[in-house]
Protein backbone atom coordinates (compact mmCIF):
# COMPACT_ATOMS: atom_id res chain seq x y z
CA UNK A 1 0.00 0.00 0.00
CA UNK A 2 1.14 3.51 -0.82
CA UNK A 3 1.18 5.64 2.31
CA UNK A 4 -0.17 9.09 1.50
CA UNK A 5 -0.34 12.29 3.49
CA UNK A 6 -2.43 15.37 2.79
CA UNK A 7 -1.21 18.80 3.83
CA UNK A 8 -4.01 21.35 3.79
CA UNK A 9 -6.59 18.62 4.31
CA UNK A 10 -9.37 20.94 5.44
CA UNK A 11 -9.41 23.03 2.28
CA UNK A 12 -11.90 22.06 -0.41
CA UNK A 13 -9.34 20.27 -2.60
CA UNK A 14 -7.73 18.71 0.49
CA UNK A 15 -10.93 17.20 1.82
CA UNK A 16 -11.78 16.00 -1.68
CA UNK A 17 -8.48 14.10 -1.63
CA UNK A 18 -9.51 12.54 1.68
CA UNK A 19 -12.86 11.50 0.19
CA UNK A 20 -11.40 10.01 -2.99
CA UNK A 21 -8.42 8.27 -1.37
CA UNK A 22 -10.75 6.44 1.00
CA UNK A 23 -11.80 4.35 -2.01
CA UNK A 24 -8.35 3.87 -3.57
CA UNK A 25 -7.42 0.17 -3.39
CA UNK A 26 -3.65 0.82 -3.33
CA UNK A 27 -3.50 3.76 -0.90
CA UNK A 28 -3.58 4.14 2.86
CA UNK A 29 -4.03 7.64 4.25
CA UNK A 30 -1.14 7.73 6.71
CA UNK A 31 -1.72 11.25 7.97
CA UNK A 32 -3.48 14.55 7.39
CA UNK A 33 -2.47 18.06 8.30
CA UNK A 34 -4.08 21.46 8.79
CA UNK A 35 -2.65 24.56 10.39
CA UNK A 36 -6.10 25.97 11.15
CA UNK A 37 -7.50 22.83 12.80
CA UNK A 38 -4.44 21.04 14.18
CA UNK A 39 -5.39 18.68 17.01
CA UNK A 40 -8.99 18.23 15.85
CA UNK A 41 -10.33 15.26 13.93
CA UNK A 42 -11.24 15.97 10.34
CA UNK A 43 -14.74 14.65 10.93
CA UNK A 44 -15.26 17.52 13.40
CA UNK A 45 -14.63 19.91 10.51
CA UNK A 46 -16.45 17.82 7.89
CA UNK A 47 -19.19 15.71 9.54
CA UNK A 48 -19.76 13.75 6.32
CA UNK A 49 -16.54 11.88 7.19
CA UNK A 50 -17.79 10.76 10.63
CA UNK A 51 -16.88 7.08 11.22
CA UNK A 52 -15.30 7.00 7.76
CA UNK A 53 -12.23 9.11 8.46
CA UNK A 54 -11.87 10.41 12.02
CA UNK A 55 -8.10 10.99 11.77
CA UNK A 56 -6.57 13.75 13.86
CA UNK A 57 -5.06 16.68 11.99
CA UNK A 58 -1.32 16.90 12.69
CA UNK A 59 1.58 19.18 11.80
CA UNK A 60 3.03 18.64 8.33
CA UNK A 61 6.42 17.60 9.73
CA UNK A 62 4.87 14.55 11.41
CA UNK A 63 3.51 13.36 8.07
CA UNK A 64 6.76 13.25 6.15
CA UNK A 65 8.38 10.45 8.17
CA UNK A 66 5.46 8.08 7.64
CA UNK A 67 4.47 8.77 4.02
CA UNK A 68 5.58 7.74 0.54
CA UNK A 69 3.84 10.70 -1.06
CA UNK A 70 2.51 14.02 0.18
CA UNK A 71 -0.30 15.92 -1.49
CA UNK A 72 0.09 19.65 -0.85
CA UNK A 73 -3.16 21.58 -1.07
CA UNK A 74 -1.78 24.97 -0.08
CA UNK A 75 -1.90 28.59 -1.20
CA UNK A 76 0.90 29.66 -3.56
CA UNK A 77 4.24 30.37 -1.94
CA UNK A 78 3.96 27.64 0.71
CA UNK A 79 4.75 24.43 -1.18
CA UNK A 80 8.43 25.00 -1.93
CA UNK A 81 9.52 24.67 1.71
CA UNK A 82 7.43 21.52 2.11
CA UNK A 83 8.86 20.14 -1.14
CA UNK A 84 12.42 20.70 0.14
CA UNK A 85 11.66 18.65 3.27
CA UNK A 86 10.02 15.90 1.22
CA UNK A 87 12.86 15.59 -1.29
CA UNK A 88 15.43 15.47 1.53
CA UNK A 89 13.46 12.62 3.13
CA UNK A 90 12.96 10.72 -0.13
CA UNK A 91 9.23 11.41 -0.14
CA UNK A 92 7.42 12.36 -3.34
CA UNK A 93 5.27 15.49 -3.53
CA UNK A 94 2.24 16.37 -5.65
CA UNK A 95 1.53 20.08 -5.42
CA UNK A 96 -2.05 21.21 -6.06
CA UNK A 97 -0.98 24.85 -5.68
CA UNK A 98 0.78 27.12 -8.17
CA UNK A 99 4.41 26.85 -7.04
CA UNK A 100 5.47 24.20 -9.59
CA UNK A 101 3.19 25.05 -12.53
CA UNK A 102 5.13 27.74 -14.37
CA UNK A 103 8.46 27.18 -16.13
CA UNK A 104 9.35 30.86 -15.95
CA UNK A 105 10.19 32.44 -12.62
CA UNK A 106 9.65 35.80 -14.28
CA UNK A 107 6.05 34.86 -15.09
CA UNK A 108 5.56 33.59 -11.53
CA UNK A 109 6.85 36.90 -10.17
CA UNK A 110 4.57 38.86 -12.50
CA UNK A 111 1.36 36.99 -11.70
CA UNK A 112 1.94 35.80 -8.11
CA UNK A 113 4.19 38.59 -6.80
CA UNK A 114 6.70 36.10 -5.38
CA UNK A 115 10.06 34.63 -6.38
CA UNK A 116 11.20 31.02 -6.37
CA UNK A 117 12.95 30.48 -3.05
CA UNK A 118 14.16 26.94 -3.81
CA UNK A 119 15.24 27.26 -7.43
CA UNK A 120 16.95 23.87 -7.63
CA UNK A 121 13.68 22.11 -6.83
CA UNK A 122 12.18 23.34 -10.08
CA UNK A 123 14.75 21.21 -11.92
CA UNK A 124 13.31 18.21 -10.08
CA UNK A 125 9.67 18.91 -10.84
CA UNK A 126 7.40 18.36 -13.81
CA UNK A 127 3.96 19.76 -14.71
CA UNK A 128 1.62 17.01 -15.87
CA UNK A 129 -1.81 16.99 -17.47
CA UNK A 130 -1.87 13.17 -17.80
CA UNK A 131 -3.65 12.91 -21.16
CA UNK A 132 -1.20 15.33 -22.77
CA UNK A 133 2.04 15.04 -20.81
CA UNK A 134 2.31 11.64 -19.11
CA UNK A 135 5.45 10.85 -21.12
CA UNK A 136 7.19 13.83 -19.55
CA UNK A 137 7.15 12.17 -16.14
CA UNK A 138 10.51 10.45 -15.77
CA UNK A 139 10.71 9.77 -12.06
CA UNK A 140 10.83 13.36 -10.84
CA UNK A 141 10.09 13.62 -7.09
CA UNK A 142 7.71 16.59 -7.58
CA UNK A 143 4.67 16.90 -9.81
CA UNK A 144 2.99 20.26 -10.33
CA UNK A 145 -0.70 19.47 -10.57
CA UNK A 146 -2.49 21.68 -13.13
CA UNK A 147 -5.05 24.31 -12.28
CA UNK A 148 -8.76 23.71 -12.87
CA UNK A 149 -9.37 26.27 -15.62
CA UNK A 150 -6.14 25.32 -17.48
CA UNK A 151 -7.13 21.64 -17.40
CA UNK A 152 -10.47 22.19 -19.10
CA UNK A 153 -8.93 24.58 -21.62
CA UNK A 154 -5.88 22.47 -22.51
CA UNK A 155 -7.97 19.34 -23.01
CA UNK A 156 -10.48 21.34 -25.02
CA UNK A 157 -7.88 22.90 -27.33
CA UNK A 158 -5.12 20.26 -27.59
CA UNK A 159 -6.33 18.55 -30.80
CA UNK A 160 -6.67 21.90 -32.56
CA UNK A 161 -3.30 23.24 -31.37
CA UNK A 162 -1.37 20.12 -32.35
CA UNK A 163 -3.06 19.76 -35.75
CA UNK A 164 -2.48 23.41 -36.67
CA UNK A 165 -6.01 23.88 -38.06
CA UNK A 166 -6.64 27.07 -36.06
CA UNK A 167 -5.02 30.48 -36.23
CA UNK A 168 -2.59 31.43 -33.48
CA UNK A 169 -4.23 34.75 -32.74
CA UNK A 170 -7.73 35.62 -31.60
CA UNK A 171 -8.42 32.61 -29.34
CA UNK A 172 -11.13 33.54 -26.86
CA UNK A 173 -11.86 31.44 -23.78
CA UNK A 174 -15.05 32.03 -21.82
CA UNK A 175 -14.97 29.91 -18.65
CA UNK A 176 -17.40 29.49 -15.76
CA UNK A 177 -16.63 27.94 -12.38
CA UNK A 178 -18.57 26.86 -9.33
CA UNK A 179 -17.93 28.71 -6.07
CA UNK A 180 -15.67 25.98 -4.60
CA UNK A 181 -13.01 27.16 -7.04
CA UNK A 182 -12.46 30.18 -4.80
CA UNK A 183 -11.52 27.98 -1.83
CA UNK A 184 -12.78 28.05 1.76
CA UNK A 185 -11.52 31.53 2.56
CA UNK A 186 -14.15 34.20 3.05
CA UNK A 187 -14.56 36.74 0.25
CA UNK A 188 -17.24 39.24 -0.58
CA UNK A 189 -17.93 37.88 -4.09
CA UNK A 190 -18.43 34.32 -2.78
CA UNK A 191 -20.61 35.38 0.15
CA UNK A 192 -23.98 33.65 -0.32
CA UNK A 193 -26.18 36.76 -0.79
CA UNK A 194 -23.74 38.08 -3.41
CA UNK A 195 -23.23 34.94 -5.50
CA UNK A 196 -26.70 33.35 -5.22
CA UNK A 197 -29.05 34.37 -8.05
CA UNK A 198 -26.09 36.18 -9.62
CA UNK A 199 -23.68 35.66 -12.49
CA UNK A 200 -20.74 37.80 -13.55
CA UNK A 201 -17.19 37.71 -14.88
CA UNK A 202 -14.24 38.44 -12.60
CA UNK A 203 -10.52 39.18 -12.93
CA UNK A 204 -11.07 40.08 -16.58
CA UNK A 205 -7.76 39.81 -18.49
CA UNK A 206 -5.94 39.46 -15.17
CA UNK A 207 -6.55 35.93 -13.84
CA UNK A 208 -3.48 34.11 -12.56
CA UNK A 209 -4.23 31.01 -14.61
CA UNK A 210 -3.55 32.94 -17.83
CA UNK A 211 0.22 32.24 -17.99
CA UNK A 212 -0.37 28.55 -17.23
CA UNK A 213 -2.93 28.33 -20.03
CA UNK A 214 -0.62 30.08 -22.48
CA UNK A 215 2.39 27.99 -21.43
CA UNK A 216 0.55 24.74 -22.15
CA UNK A 217 -1.00 25.90 -25.42
CA UNK A 218 2.36 27.23 -26.62
CA UNK A 219 4.00 23.86 -26.01
CA UNK A 220 1.19 22.06 -27.83
CA UNK A 221 1.37 24.43 -30.80
CA UNK A 222 5.17 24.68 -30.88
CA UNK A 223 4.94 28.47 -30.97
CA UNK A 224 4.00 31.36 -28.70
CA UNK A 225 0.25 31.56 -28.09
CA UNK A 226 -1.66 34.41 -26.47
CA UNK A 227 -5.32 34.12 -25.49
CA UNK A 228 -8.17 36.21 -24.17
CA UNK A 229 -9.32 34.45 -21.00
CA UNK A 230 -12.37 35.61 -19.06
CA UNK A 231 -13.56 33.57 -16.05
CA UNK A 232 -17.04 33.83 -14.56
CA UNK A 233 -18.49 32.79 -11.20
CA UNK A 234 -21.46 30.45 -11.39
CA UNK A 235 -23.89 30.21 -8.44
CA UNK A 236 -23.25 26.44 -8.09
CA UNK A 237 -20.92 24.47 -5.83
CA UNK A 238 -19.00 22.44 -8.41
CA UNK A 239 -18.01 22.39 -12.02
CA UNK A 240 -16.17 24.26 -14.74
CA UNK A 241 -17.41 24.78 -18.26
CA UNK A 242 -15.15 26.43 -20.81
CA UNK A 243 -16.45 27.62 -24.16
CA UNK A 244 -13.56 28.21 -26.53
CA UNK A 245 -13.61 30.14 -29.81
CA UNK A 246 -10.80 29.73 -32.36
CA UNK A 247 -10.62 30.82 -36.00
CA UNK A 248 -9.95 28.03 -38.49
CA UNK A 249 -7.18 28.26 -41.07
CA UNK A 250 -9.40 26.66 -43.73
CA UNK A 251 -13.00 25.56 -44.15
CA UNK A 252 -13.55 22.45 -42.04
CA UNK A 253 -16.86 20.75 -41.43
CA UNK A 254 -18.21 19.84 -38.02
CA UNK A 255 -17.82 16.18 -38.99
CA UNK A 256 -14.13 16.66 -39.78
CA UNK A 257 -13.53 18.50 -36.50
CA UNK A 258 -15.33 15.79 -34.57
CA UNK A 259 -13.28 13.07 -36.26
CA UNK A 260 -10.10 14.94 -35.29
CA UNK A 261 -11.14 14.92 -31.62
CA UNK A 262 -12.34 11.32 -31.72
CA UNK A 263 -8.98 10.15 -33.01
CA UNK A 264 -6.94 12.33 -30.64
CA UNK A 265 -8.72 11.04 -27.51
CA UNK A 266 -9.55 7.51 -28.70
CA UNK A 267 -7.42 5.89 -25.98
CA UNK A 268 -8.21 8.30 -23.15
CA UNK A 269 -10.66 6.97 -20.61
CA UNK A 270 -11.27 10.25 -18.81
CA UNK A 271 -11.92 12.39 -21.90
CA UNK A 272 -15.32 11.79 -23.46
CA UNK A 273 -15.84 13.36 -26.90
CA UNK A 274 -19.60 13.67 -27.14
CA UNK A 275 -21.55 12.69 -30.26
CA UNK A 276 -21.92 15.42 -32.85
CA UNK A 277 -24.86 17.66 -31.97
CA UNK A 278 -24.58 17.10 -28.21
CA UNK A 279 -23.38 19.85 -25.87
CA UNK A 280 -21.11 19.31 -22.83
CA UNK A 281 -22.83 20.03 -19.51
CA UNK A 282 -21.10 20.31 -16.14
CA UNK A 283 -23.97 18.32 -14.58
CA UNK A 284 -22.78 15.20 -16.44
CA UNK A 285 -19.23 15.24 -15.03
CA UNK A 286 -20.02 16.26 -11.45
CA UNK A 287 -18.21 14.19 -8.78
CA UNK A 288 -16.14 12.46 -11.48
CA UNK A 289 -12.71 12.59 -13.10
CA UNK A 290 -14.15 12.92 -16.60
CA UNK A 291 -13.76 15.79 -19.03
CA UNK A 292 -16.63 15.99 -21.52
CA UNK A 293 -15.93 17.79 -24.78
CA UNK A 294 -18.41 18.83 -27.45
CA UNK A 295 -17.20 20.01 -30.85
CA UNK A 296 -18.99 22.61 -32.98
CA UNK A 297 -18.21 24.41 -36.25
CA UNK A 298 -19.50 27.88 -37.04
CA UNK A 299 -19.48 28.06 -40.82
CA UNK A 300 -20.78 31.63 -40.73
CA UNK A 301 -17.64 32.99 -39.03
CA UNK A 302 -15.13 30.22 -39.85
CA UNK A 303 -14.58 29.35 -36.21
CA UNK A 304 -14.36 26.18 -34.20
CA UNK A 305 -16.34 26.33 -30.96
CA UNK A 306 -15.28 23.82 -28.32
CA UNK A 307 -17.08 23.23 -25.03
CA UNK A 308 -15.20 21.41 -22.25
CA UNK A 309 -16.74 20.48 -18.89
CA UNK A 310 -15.04 19.13 -15.76
CA UNK A 311 -15.65 18.91 -12.04
CA UNK A 312 -13.26 21.55 -10.72
CA UNK A 313 -12.69 19.63 -7.46
CA UNK A 314 -12.01 16.25 -9.13
CA UNK A 315 -10.52 16.44 -12.64
CA UNK A 316 -9.60 20.05 -11.86
CA UNK A 317 -7.85 19.25 -8.57
CA UNK A 318 -7.96 16.11 -6.38
CA UNK A 319 -8.88 13.53 -9.03
CA UNK A 320 -6.15 14.68 -11.40
CA UNK A 321 -3.68 14.69 -8.50
CA UNK A 322 -4.54 11.04 -7.83
CA UNK A 323 -4.24 10.28 -11.55
CA UNK A 324 -0.76 11.82 -11.38
CA UNK A 325 0.04 9.78 -8.27
CA UNK A 326 -0.96 6.64 -10.17
CA UNK A 327 1.50 7.59 -12.93
CA UNK A 328 4.18 8.33 -10.32
CA UNK A 329 3.85 4.87 -8.74
CA UNK A 330 3.26 2.87 -11.92
CA UNK A 331 -0.40 2.09 -11.29
CA UNK A 332 -3.21 2.11 -13.83
CA UNK A 333 -4.28 5.72 -14.25
CA UNK A 334 -7.90 5.02 -13.41
CA UNK A 335 -7.06 3.18 -10.17
CA UNK A 336 -9.26 4.63 -7.42
CA UNK A 337 -10.98 6.94 -9.90
CA UNK A 338 -13.21 4.51 -11.75
CA UNK A 339 -16.60 5.76 -10.63
CA UNK A 340 -19.70 6.93 -12.46
CA UNK A 341 -20.93 10.54 -12.26
CA UNK A 342 -24.39 10.87 -10.69
CA UNK A 343 -27.35 11.56 -12.99
CA UNK A 344 -28.39 14.70 -11.10
Q: List, by residue number, the catalytic residues.
A: 148
Distance between CA 227 and CA 224 in Å, rounded?
A: 10
DSSP string, 77-109: TSHHHHHHHHHHHT-EEEE-SSTTT-S-HHHHH
- List the alpha helices (DSSP H) in the chain: 12-21, 42-45, 60-64, 79-89, 105-112, 130-133, 148-163, 192-195, 210-221, 254-264, 319-328
Structure letter (DSSP) for residue 315:
I
Contact 175, 234 (CB under 8 A): no
Distance between CA 344 and CA 335 in Å, rounded?
A: 24
User: Which of 165, 173, 307, 175 shows the shortest CA–CA distance to 247?
Assistant: 165
Whole-number Cα distances in Å, 101 to 47, 227, 287: 33, 18, 24
Distance between CA 294 and CA 340 in Å, rounded?
A: 19
Amino acid sequence: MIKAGIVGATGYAGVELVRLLQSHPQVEIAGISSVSYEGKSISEVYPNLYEICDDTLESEDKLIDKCDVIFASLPHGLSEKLAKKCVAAGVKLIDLGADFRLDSEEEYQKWYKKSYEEKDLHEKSVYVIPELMRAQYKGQPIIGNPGCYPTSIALGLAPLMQSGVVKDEGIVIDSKSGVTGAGRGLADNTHYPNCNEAFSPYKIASHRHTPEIEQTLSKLAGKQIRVTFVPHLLPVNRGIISTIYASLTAEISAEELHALYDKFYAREKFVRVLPLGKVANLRDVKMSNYCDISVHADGHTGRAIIVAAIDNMVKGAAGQAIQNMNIMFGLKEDCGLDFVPPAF
